[in-house]
Amino acid sequence: MIPLQPVLLLLTGLVLGMRHAFDRDHVTAVTHFISLEPDSLKSAWFGCRWAIGHAMTVLFLGSFILLLHLKFDPAFEKYAELAVGVSLIVLGLWRLILLVKERRRDTLHAHEEAAHTHHHSDRPKSEHVHKLAPTLVGMVHGASGTAELFVLLPITLISTTWLAYLYIGLFSLGCAGTMSGYGYVMGHFYHRISEAGQRIYRVLVVLTSTSGLVLGVLWILKNL
């Protein structure tokens, strides 16, 4: 018979990972990427790539605790949270700048069509998204305070190293599955909005980008 305590522990890690995915900074960051390509599958992949970066940081920090028996200085969490705030501000500004460029491109395209010239071809928005960008952002967010509360602190209470790594793995799996699902749903939502009209779509992007900027500023002020 499988011992009940390890099973419950691992299930707790899975559930906490699913819960962790919905932290405000995580959802805000991934939404910026989703708004670039309003497609369900591509948006799910954005969420998955973010989660991969997040898992890499959690595994790295967890290994320091499990193998080297190190304890992180309280200042580490402070600087990690400040890095999250900076990332939110950078992402918000980046998305607004891209929106302005997209607007200018669309205007130019309309003028060229009016002049019956067709030398212009729209570049896919995916060119704006660096392949590693979601993963790098996820790596920054993996060191934030809630990850420490849900993962780094619990594994110090687990006596068996392999069980602690399994806990980290299931936590990361729950986080990845939930964030990918969020990306899929929101990608469909943004797709429907873009079909309803570009003006409405741009207003939505401005609102999400601005809210991300505000959240980033508040995040930094909270941790100064």
Query: What does the buried/exposed string (b/e) look like for 148-159 if buried means 16 or more CB atoms within 10 Å of the residue's CB?
Result: bebbbebbeebe
Q: Measured between alpha carbons, how far is 137 from 54 in angstroms, rounded to an integer?
A: 8
Which pLDDT score, from 0 to 100, does residue 119 have? 42
Q: Give the separation between CA 120 and CA 130, rounded to whole angstroms.
A: 23
Domain ranges of the chain: 4-223
Please list the pLDDT of the chain residue by residue as tens digits (224 residues): 456 778 888 898 899 999 999 999 999 999 999 998 889 999 999 999 999 999 999 999 888 888 887 777 778 888 999 999 999 999 999 999 999 987 776 665 555 555 544 444 444 454 556 678 999 999 999 988 767 777 777 887 787 888 989 999 999 999 999 999 999 999 999 999 988 888 899 999 999 999 999 999 999 999 88
pLDDT value of position 2:
56
Q: pTM above 0.75?
A: yes
Give the DSSP letter of residue 128: G
